[in-house]
């Protein structure tokens, strides 16, 4: 499968139009092979509004990673219109890119709850007041750019993405597990 997977290069990412999203639920699931060579920050999947500082977090969502060569923590930030909600599992949402190999990442956002999964296990979740899609026009994969680069969440150089699936509903943990089993690495 990896010969057909996506591996971002420096400054590269994939975008799709996202304007017109009106659903209050969204989920994504994919296999991810983190690179220890790119030990800084990166945006993995972002839908956000454009802003002067590329860091408006009041609408859309941002799935990203932060850390170093031996510890990368995955985080989800969701814009609620007037503010934002964070889903950061700390150590439970972290992997060592030198030893991790392929991991299955997934997140779900419903009308009032968000969950982040690694290898089918909940690593962060909580209630929040709901997602706003105001001014969101672009879905970025493999970088925070163009709309979430204010904290240097740029291209995910060296990491590999495979079997990406996006849903217009909140997936259950069982559905995440089924996707992981069906597309397994």
Q: Show the domain range for 22.
A: 15-182
Say which CATH number the domain at 170 has: 2.60.120.200
In a domain, 8, yes or no: no
Count structural domains, the chain.
1
What pLDDT digit, counting tens, does each position of 40-90 carry?
Answer: 899 999 999 998 888 999 999 999 999 998 999 999 999 999 999 999 999
* 10 is a domain residue: no
- Residue 24, sorted as left (phi over 0), alpha (psi -120 to 50) or beta, turns out to be alpha
173 part of a folded domain: yes
The confidence band for 3, taking pLDDT boundaries of 50, 70 and 90, is low
Q: 135-158: per-residue pLDDT in tens? A: 999 999 999 999 999 889 999 988
- 4 lies in a domain? no
pLDDT of residue 78: 98
Provide the 10 A C-beta neighbour count for residue 81.
13
Nearest of 98, 96, 102 to residue 161 by alpha carbon = 102
């Amino acid at each position: 499968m990896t010969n057909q997977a996506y591996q971002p290069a420096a400054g590269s990412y994939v975008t799709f139009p996202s304007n017109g999203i009106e659903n209050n639920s969204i989920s994504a699931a994919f296999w991810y092979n983190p690179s220890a060579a790119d030990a800084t920050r990166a945006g993995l999947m972002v839908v956000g509004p454009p802003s002067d500082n590329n860091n408006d977090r009041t609408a859309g969502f941002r799935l990203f990673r932060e850390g170093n060569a031996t510890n990368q923590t995955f985080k989800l930030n969701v814009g609620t219109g007037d503010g934002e909600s964070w889903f950061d599992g700390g150590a439970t949402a972290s992997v060592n890119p030198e030893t991790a190999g392929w991991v299955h990442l997934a997140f779900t956002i419903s009308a009032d709850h968000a969950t982040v999964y690694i290898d089918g296990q909940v690593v962060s979740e909580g209630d929040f007041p709901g997602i706003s899609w105001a001014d969101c026009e672009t879905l970025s994969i493999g970088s925070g750019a163009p709309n979430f680069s204010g904290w240097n969440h740029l291209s995910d150089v060296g990491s590999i993405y495979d079997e990406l699936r996006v849903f217009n509903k909140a997936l259950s943990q069982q559905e995440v597990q089924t996707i992981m089993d069906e597309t397994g690495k």
